[in-house]
Amino acid sequence: MPLGQLFTRRITIARIYDIPVRIDYRWFAVVALSIWLIAGNLQSHVIQLGNVRLPPLAPVTAWILGFITTAGLFLSVFGHELSHALMARAEDIEIEEIVLHPFGGLARLKTEPQNPGAELRIAVAGPAASFVFALLAFAATKIAALGNYNATVVVFFLIAWGNLLLAVFNLFPGYPLDGGRVLRALLWRRSGSIKEATRMAGICGILIGGTLILFGVYIVIAPSWRPSQPYFMGGWSILVGLFLLDTAAKVVKGSQNTRLLTAGDVMSPAIVIDPAMTVTKLIDDVLPLHRQTSFPVAVHGRAHGILALEDLKPLPREKWHTTHVRDVMRAINPQLFVDTATTFESAKEMMKDNGTGSLAVVNNQGELVGFLQSGKITKRSKKRLNNSARRS
């Protein structure tokens, strides 16, 4: 395996309802921080929740409860994103993946919703699930309190409040938050233009991101009101604000410059190589004519994989004439191909993460019809991009 593949930004941990579930490697740092904060508070503070009083706990107990609480919170985030994904599937939209990242989660769709109603239903599904999780956790808190299981009360209380905050925060009306997608659906229905609706929702997202940054700065420097952990709370608010600001700014810029492009709009003709071809033939006959860093491997129009030239580096030159493409290619998997209707933004993210910087493009029958490479767009595709820009 090439070294670059070991350091991809995401790792796949499961497939739920045939949807890949991936974790951004930075997510582990947030999990560790959450466990540490919860355990630290349980060790050093008396927790008072109504009639429930939990004295400071022993370190081992506090760390165990910190782990359980954090697991419950992040399972809730996953449930939130899974609700988006299942609602999208009900609207006949394919799901590319669910990703857990440092600022929450993302259910990535392969295509945009076809109408405002579908957009609204998909957007609302996540916060609705979080509200349900909050109610269930609050109910569990009450039941645990009746049995005097004070530690369990605290765990479920934190999970309940975490879900409630997740639901409320996501309903803020700014893209890419769920509330921003609700706003986009309403504006789309009113104006009939998804591009204009996306731009307005993105502007609201910029305002919300900027407000969170200012609020974080205020928490850190305010002399009159400071929470128990001002630098953490203020820093986290600033980081979330920067994330929203950057994402929303890209959305606004994209909506001003182009329509929602698809992989079919920007793909190049596929320079196909046969899996039985030797590496020597590839080097001598194909590369001089086609200066690419990767090639689709296919037989009779069916993609078998992608050969990245960097995968040939460990192969000794004396083995080139006996090694076939199928021996060194990356076998086809969901991260190496998209259909023609996949949005170009989603395709770019996939190329960034799959370790090849390229994608095979297939049609509805699963036949190879084109190829995408980072930084390489055909003249025909550039013309479509320019026409889109002029129309906007």
Lowest mean pLDDT among 56-60, 97-101, 201-205, 253-257: 253-257
- Residue 27 clears pLDDT 50, i.e. is over it: yes
Most confident of the following: 7-11, 224-228, 360-364: 360-364
pLDDT at site 375:
61
Residue type, 355: G
Give percent of the chain with pLDDT exceeding 90.
36
pLDDT at site 176:
85
- Residue 314 clears pLDDT 60, i.e. is over it: yes
pLDDT at site 390:
43
Structure tokens at 197: 């609706």
In DSSP terms, which residues pair with 54 in a beta bridge? 47
Global pTM reads 0.65
Say how far apart CA 118 and CA 206 lie, in whole Å: 24
Give the CA-trace dihedral at 164, 166, 167, 171, to 10 degrees: 140
pLDDT at site 384:
46
Residue type, 276: A
Q: Looking at per-residue confidence, does 228 or 112 come out higher?
A: 112
**Residue tagged 């128990």 (tokens):** 228
Structure tokens at 125: 């599904």
pLDDT at site 310:
87
- Residue 47 clears pLDDT 60, i.e. is over it: yes
**Residue tagged 């390489």 (tokens):** 376
Phi, psi of 229 (to 5 degrees): -130, 70
**Residues 90-119: pLDDT tens digits?**
988 888 889 888 878 888 887 778 788 999
In this prediction, residue 231 has a pLDDT band, given cuts at 50, 70 and 90, of: low
- Residue 242 clears pLDDT 70, i.e. is over it: yes
**Residue tagged 């986290």 (tokens):** 236
Backbone angle region of 140, left / alpha / beta, with phi > 0 → left and psi within -120 to 50 → alpha: alpha
C-alpha count within 13 angstroms, C-beta hemisphere, residue 110? 21
Averaged confidence pLDDT in the chain: 84
Mean pLDDT of 72-96: 92
pLDDT at site 1:
37
- Provide CB contacts within 8 A for 135, sequence distance 6+: 160
Give percent of the chain with pLDDT exceeding 70.
89
In DSSP terms, which residues pair with 100 in a beta bridge? 23, 105
pLDDT at site 84:
94
What are the Cα distances from residue 365, in Å, to 29, 90, 269, 339? 42, 21, 17, 10
Mean pLDDT of 116-132: 94
Mean pLDDT of 287-310: 90
- Residue 391 clears pLDDT 70, i.e. is over it: no
Length of the chain, please? 392
Lowest mean pLDDT among 78-82, 127-131, 349-353, 381-385: 381-385
pLDDT at site 136:
96
pLDDT at site 132:
96
Lowest mean pLDDT among 68-72, 105-109, 223-227, 276-280: 223-227
Say how far apart CA 130 and CA 369 lie, in whole Å: 41
What are the Cα distances from residue 192, in Å, to 186, 187, 197? 10, 8, 8
Other C-beta atoms closer than 10 Å to the C-beta of 320 total 16
